């Protein structure tokens, strides 16, 4: 059978319970981004709250201290929230001996192939922030916020390869059934 040109095809599928070790590796690059991106906003919000509570403006050295401590702490907290969403577990509470155990949450992993697959899937899902997504897109219809946005999609072919190395699509039972009945 000749491949369909321009269309995507599912080449891997599995129901998966991601372990904390897999989740840390999968989302590890996000942690540094969260620590950096959330620093200014966290510092500003904390200063507004403190100024309201105490009735005086926060000195520059207090703002700097909050930026160095509270900002990264909040970024890490948000990272732990992502891992909890993916695994059902809170990273600081997971004993090292259980880091490779299956998580409590099931997800459906779909791996697509085809010309420009990454961009096509990302267009179907919509922007990471569901409030900015078009009606009918996966994230607009099923996402609730930027952190719980209904689906993950690799942002590049390189990251897709990295992520597949973590999830291990070769464990795909669906492919075995497909090959048996439709090859």
CA atoms lying within 13 Å on the CB side of residue 144:
3
Query: Alpha-carbon distance 51 to 63, whole Å?
Result: 11
Task: State residue 173's pLDDT score.
Answer: 62
- 152 a catalytic residue: yes
For 153, list phi and psi in degrees, rounded to 5: -140, 135
Query: In terms of Cα–Cα distance, which of 54, 17, 14 is closest to 177?
Result: 14
Percent of the chain at pLDDT above 90? Answer: 79
Tell me yes or no: is domain 9-17+107-176 CATH 3.40.50.10800. no
Domain boundaries, the chain: 9-17+107-176, 20-98
Q: Taking CA 19 as the corner, what is the angle to CA 15 and CA 23, rounded to the nearest 5 degrees?
A: 100
Q: Which ranges of 88-172 does DSSP label H, i.e. alpha helix?
A: 117-125, 138-142, 157-167
Q: Would you tell me the crossing angle of helices 60-87 and 20-54 to the nearest 10 degrees?
A: 140
pLDDT (average), residues 67-79:
95
Query: Would you say residue 4 has pLDDT above 70?
Result: no
**Cβ-count burial of 63 within 10 angstroms (0-12 exposed, 13-18 middle, 19+ buried)?**
middle
Query: Would you say residue 97 has pLDDT above 50?
Result: yes
Q: Which of 16, 67, 77, 152 is catalytic?
A: 152
pLDDT digits (tens, 9 = 90+) for 30-46: 999 999 999 999 999 99
Query: What sign results for the dihedral spanned by CA atoms 66, 72, 75, 79?
Result: negative
- Contact between 36 and 7 under an 8 Å Cβ cutoff? The reply is no
Q: Is the pTM of this model over 0.95?
A: no
Strands (E), 73-156: 107-113
Task: State residue 1's pLDDT score.
Answer: 46
- Contact between 37 and 76 under an 8 Å Cβ cutoff? The reply is no
Query: Would you say residue 172 has pLDDT above 90?
Result: no
- Contact between 126 and 150 under an 8 Å Cβ cutoff? The reply is no
């Amino acid at each position: 059978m000749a491949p369909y040109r321009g269309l995507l095809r599912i080449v891997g599928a599995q129901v998966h319970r991601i372990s904390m070790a897999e989740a840390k590796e999968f989302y590890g690059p996000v942690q540094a981004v969260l620590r950096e991106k959330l620093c200014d906003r966290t510092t500003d919000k904390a200063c507004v709250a403190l100024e309201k509570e105490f009735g005086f403006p926060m000195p520059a050295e207090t703002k700097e201290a909050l930026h160095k401590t509270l900002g990264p702490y909040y970024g890490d907290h948000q990272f732990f929230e992502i891992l909890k969403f993916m695994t059902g577990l809170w990273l600081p509470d997971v004993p090292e001996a259980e880091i490779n155990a299956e998580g409590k949450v099931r997800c459906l992993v779909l791996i697509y192939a085809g010309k420009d697959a990454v961009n096509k899937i990302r267009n179907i899902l919509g922007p990471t922030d569901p409030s900015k997504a078009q009606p009918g897109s996966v994230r607009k219809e099923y996402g609730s916020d930027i952190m719980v946005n209904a689906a993950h999609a690799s942002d590049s072919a390189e990251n897709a390869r990295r992520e597949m190395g973590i999830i291990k699509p070769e464990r795909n039972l669906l492919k075995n059934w497909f090959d048996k009945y439709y090859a």
